[in-house]
């Protein structure tokens, strides 16, 4: 009687276990964050984008909110915000780059494991107000 054939290994079996456990679950999140500018530009009407981008304060607040949710690393921020450069004012872009590099949802969750909620709220308020003031001031000058 012939021995049964072994089951075929999945294509990721050649990848070391530590690498697979660390990077494989993250790959889906990266695809979402990479496609977010295109999704926003498709889903949000152009008139809304233009109205938000033309206002000195709303352009800053909208891009700060986007940077809080998207959670991309600071090396990718500039490439991520590039499609919005033609619609939003320069201060909004600067606020996105400054605020997104300091805080996002993943960073807040990580900081929550170490700091109390009051301290975290204070850090979030200081970073948000500083970034908003920088962007708004830049929009008023530009």
Q: What would the 3-class secondary structure string for the chain be? A: CCCCCCCCCCHHHHCCHHHHHHHHHHHHHHHHHHHHHHHHHHHCCHHHHHHHHHCHHHHHHHHHHHHHHHCCCCCCHHHHHHHHCCCCCHHHHHHHHHHHHHCCHHHHHHHHCCCCHHHHHHHHHHHHHHHHHHHHHHHHHC
pLDDT score of 81: 86
Question: Rounded to whole angstroms, how far apart are CA atoms 80 and 72?
Answer: 8
What is the C-alpha separation between 82 and 126, in angstroms, rounded? 26
Residues of the chain with pLDDT under 50: none
pLDDT on residue 69: 82
Determine if the pTM surpasses 0.75: no
Q: What integer pLDDT is reported at residue 79 of this predicted model?
A: 83
CA angle 9, 10, 15 (to 5 degrees): 100
pLDDT on residue 16: 54
pLDDT at 2: 65
The predicted pLDDT at position 130 comes to 96
């Amino acid at each position: 009687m012939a021995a049964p054939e072994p089951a075929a290994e999945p294509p990721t079996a050649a990848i070391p276990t530590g690498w697979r456990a660390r990077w494989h679950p993250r790959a889906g999140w990266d695809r979402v964050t990479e496609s977010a500018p295109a999704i926003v530009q498709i889903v949000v009407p152009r008139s809304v984008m233009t109205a938000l981008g033309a206002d000195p304060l709303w352009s800053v607040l909208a891009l700060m909110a986007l940077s809080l949710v998207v959670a991309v690393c600071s090396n990718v921020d500039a490439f991520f915000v590039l499609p919005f450069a033609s619609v939003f004012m320069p201060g909004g872009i600067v606020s996105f780059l400054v605020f997104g590099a300091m805080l996002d949802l993943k960073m807040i969750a990580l900081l929550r494991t170490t700091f109390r909620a009051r301290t975290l709220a204070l850090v979030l308020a200081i970073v948000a107000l500083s970034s908003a003031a920088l962007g708004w001031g830049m929009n008023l000058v530009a």
